[in-house]
A and B are shown apart, each in its own frame.
Chain A
């Protein structure tokens, strides 16, 4: 990927994290948390979004983020106080910001009206004079005043440093120029500038170096540099903390004064600087020494402040093998002709003799200043690479980012290991070795270890459900606004972990259940108050681990399920018989039947034409189950349980037509031995079986998958009653049940091709491949063949 695009991808990824952080912060603030660190964190998140957006020129996003950020900054500085109202506006603003980010990411557009309205609401939080002062009321570009707008990738190549950065032998210039008075400058009247540069001690204290400034200047055009070192006192009077040098530079070329001054941008407050057009009279007398105790001492080197001195000394050491230049070199820099050198290399030639003499005299000072000498060479340490890739937003817990592919490869390998281990155990067992033999005992340990490795590897993919939960407060706010209800969302167990693939697919069902709870479950504020409840309804979203599965609960304190009405609808839609005897629980769970919708008008909120049956189906597709419990007048609770991972499966191992097959345990309701008199043939060979007065299709698995042509006599096999994802039931006729075990799922499509009725495959302990049944496909096929059966089915 283009590195620029890849950074952009990083930006949007980071935005997601930032928006999440921002929202948690704001939610805490809504609960009254006005801790400065919370506010700061929210500010930083918005600020970072804006910063990144600036780099990519995402104007709309910048504009909105700017207003948002400004309001947060007011709060940060204590000018705006946190109230319930303010928190609500900020939360809505965070939603709009998220929309902007999403629009920028997809290249789409945002609801302009909403943005404008939101900006107005934000501005209303700050008083008008202040808003004007902050420039918030301008329609103009918030970045208008900032320079360097836009990140324009420019390829900079190391191979040709001279093209961009002519190396100037500044040190030599500095040293040599001392001997030459400024007047020696070329008298030809070319256009140019005369610059007088007199650093103060403060400049050196901030690690600025005169040499570098001069070198930058040399990039603007041909320079002649003259050093005035008259102010340097004898060494015994030299103060390590003082600055004594003045440079006079003549710059040829037609650069503007602004360009010249830009070179001094970082140092202008810490030096005396005069920039005059060549030919004009300089305001100051260049030759006048600095106003400290100047002496006549003739120190021949350009070194004054301690930092500068040490830098020079260090360079002497670094370039010792290089020949010393002539004692009095030409005071003119032949800039473009300098040989190529990597930018990191220290400027080379300087007056080594002079400096060494100085260094010897300065040895007593030197001992003290040695410690501050900048390191000329840094050792490259490989561990820096690891550091560089550590991208955790906070360093509270050490984390690493790993490509998901790598984890998947590891999981795959561990899957193989589990299989190999099982095979080995089986072979050893078959070879007749005693269970108490050393080999068998060692294998037992190996088995435990293998299982531990498998668990640990699975844990790598596990993530807290937080990432899904955190999107929900916004959804709840929006749905509540739309239906005019007051809702408080309480979340529990956000740190409950589950496999990443499961997490990604949790969002839709949770969204649907929450919408349903608010739209159908909760009453309007008026109804609630009339019923003696608080006007604000509570919806609780919780995640917990139970029995090796993750359970997600959505509970509301609303009106509960209206059972007579649900029953009536089910009867009117022909879903149940009019005289069916159903328990309360069974009535409640009728809402999961396909085609059932309790809303008289399909509402836009929870409906969109789909009902809870869709939720149920998507959960079952994950090997999960969903149910509802309800208490009239007090509320309802949806519970869904899901496996912790999709990489392994709890299965029932069965045999059919000499094949070993696996049926997912989550689909299995019960198993039974059919009696011949319960099985009835419909038409040619399609059979149904009567289980407790309900007819369900009886599918001979061996025949359905094409392993044999003659059906198994029902009474000689075992019927496994399964429920498909669509809620349809069927009985699978197999020869025997071998047992229950966990299997590692191997994709059949990736290795072979899709086969109807087969979901995937696995490798058993004996090394044979076993197919995992696609119960949904089997049930659907059988029901399509016998549509009449459906009508007669009860729940």
Chain B
């Protein structure tokens, strides 16, 4: 059974890019366009890893992290934060909220898969 990765990003380009890299690496990918939808999809379908953008309409990435961690079923689901900012404060804020790791955009597929492997089997 392939692991399922939920990608939450408002940019279609980014979602497609994640999709391409992840599918090639053998993951099953589900997508959401913002934090609110992300939490809905996670609740409905579940996921082994969550990858979320920070800047999104309706609910940002920090909201996603808090929402996932507040859900008893996903307290232990790894969350990777996608961000262009190598900005330490944002990374720190995400970590404090419970993010497992981060992926700096732009990423290459190897690095992406690498990061996922570091947080999920």
Contacts and interface: CB of A to CB of B under 8 A. Distances in A.
Contacts of B77: 207, 374
B14 A212 contact: no
Contacts of A11: 13
A150 B106 CA distance: 6
Interface stretch (A352-360, A387-395, A646-654): A387-395
Interface in B40-63: 41, 45-48, 55-58
B29 interface: yes
Among B47, B77, B78, the one with the most A-chain Cβ atoms within 10 Å of its Cβ is B78
A342 B117 CA distance: 12
B57 A41 contact: yes
A51 B105 CA distance: 7
Interface in B99-121: 99-102, 104-111, 113, 115, 117-121
Contacts of B58: 394-395
Contact of B119 (A41, A208, A388): A208
B111 to A, nearest CB: 5
Contacts of A154: 108-110
Given A208-B78, A378-B1, A152 B108 contact: yes
A148 B83 CA distance: 12
A695 B120 CA distance: 85
Contacts of B20: 3-4, 7, 153
Given A374-B48, A388-B29, A52 B121 contact: no
Given A207-B77, A343-B25, A151 B107 contact: yes
Contacts of A41: 57
B26 A161 contact: yes
Given A146-B84, A212-B119, A151 B10 contact: no
Contacts of B106: 51, 54-55, 148-151
A678 interface: no
Contacts of B100: 206-208, 266
Interface in A128-172: 145-158, 161, 164-165
Interface in B1-21: 1-4, 10-17, 19-21
Interface in A198-253: 205-209, 211-213, 215-216
Contacts of B11: 14, 48, 51-52
Contacts of A209: 119
A183 interface: no
Interface string A645-678: 0000000000000000000000000000000000
A48 B10 contact: yes
B53 to A, nearest CB: 9
A44 B16 contact: no
A342 B120 contact: no
B37 A395 contact: yes
Contacts of A344: 1-3, 26-27, 48, 121
Contacts of A164: 113
Contacts of B109: 152-154, 156
B20 to A, nearest CB: 5
Interface string A367-381: 000011111011111
A50 interface: yes
B98 A146 contact: no
B98 A205 contact: yes
A375 B48 contact: yes
Contacts of B47: 378
Contacts of A153: 20, 108-109
Contacts of B28: 378, 380, 384
A161 B117 CA distance: 12
Given A44-B10, A207-B119, A212-B121, A151 B108 contact: yes
Contacts of A208: 78, 100-101, 119
A346 interface: yes
Given A148-B106, A156-B24, A374 B84 contact: no
Given A344-B3, A374-B77, A216 B84 contact: no
A378 B29 contact: no
A29 interface: no
B74 to A, nearest CB: 8
A345 interface: yes
Contacts of B15: 391
B33 A390 contact: yes
B57 A266 contact: no
A384 B34 CA distance: 16
A263 B117 contact: no
Interface bracket on A: 35 or more
A347 interface: yes
Contacts of B95: 206, 269
A392 B10 CA distance: 9
A296 B35 CA distance: 47
Contact of A394 (B3, B34, B45, B105): B34
A212 B3 CA distance: 15
A772 to B, nearest CB: 40
A375 B11 CA distance: 29
Contacts of A50: 84
Nearest to B102: A266
Contacts of A206: 79, 95, 98-100
A215 to B, nearest CB: 8
Contacts of A347: 121
A781 B44 CA distance: 67
B33 A378 contact: no
Contacts of A393: 10, 12, 33
B108 A148 contact: yes
A375 B79 CA distance: 15
Given A10-B13, A54-B106, A55-B13, A373 B84 contact: no
Nearest to B82: A51
A393 B31 CA distance: 12
A193 interface: no
Contact of B2 (A145, A146, A216, A342): A342
A307 B12 contact: no
Given A54-B84, A374-B48, A7 B13 contact: yes
B55 to A, nearest CB: 5
A47 interface: yes
Contacts of A40: 55, 57
A165 B117 contact: yes
A43 interface: yes
A310 interface: yes
B105 A54 contact: yes
Nearest to B7: A388
A265 interface: yes
Interface of A: 3-4, 6-7, 10-11, 13-14, 37, 40-41, 43-44, 47-48, 50-52, 54-55, 145-158, 161, 164-165, 205-209, 211-213, 215-216, 263, 265-266, 269, 307, 310-311, 342-347, 371-375, 377-381, 383-384, 387-388, 390-395
13 contacts: A3-B20, A44-B56, A150-B106, A156-B26, A158-B25, A207-B75, A207-B78, A263-B118, A311-B76, A343-B26, A378-B48, A384-B45, A387-B31
Given A51-B11, A394-B10, 17 more contacts: A7-B16, A48-B13, A147-B86, A148-B106, A148-B107, A148-B111, A151-B106, A152-B108, A206-B79, A206-B98, A207-B77, A207-B79, A344-B2, A372-B73, A372-B75, A381-B45, A387-B30
Interface of B: 1-4, 10-17, 19-21, 24-34, 36-37, 41, 45-48, 55-58, 72-73, 75-79, 84, 86, 95, 98-102, 104-111, 113, 115, 117-121
The 5 closest A-B CB pairs, nearest first, are A266-B101, A158-B26, A344-B3, A11-B13, A54-B106
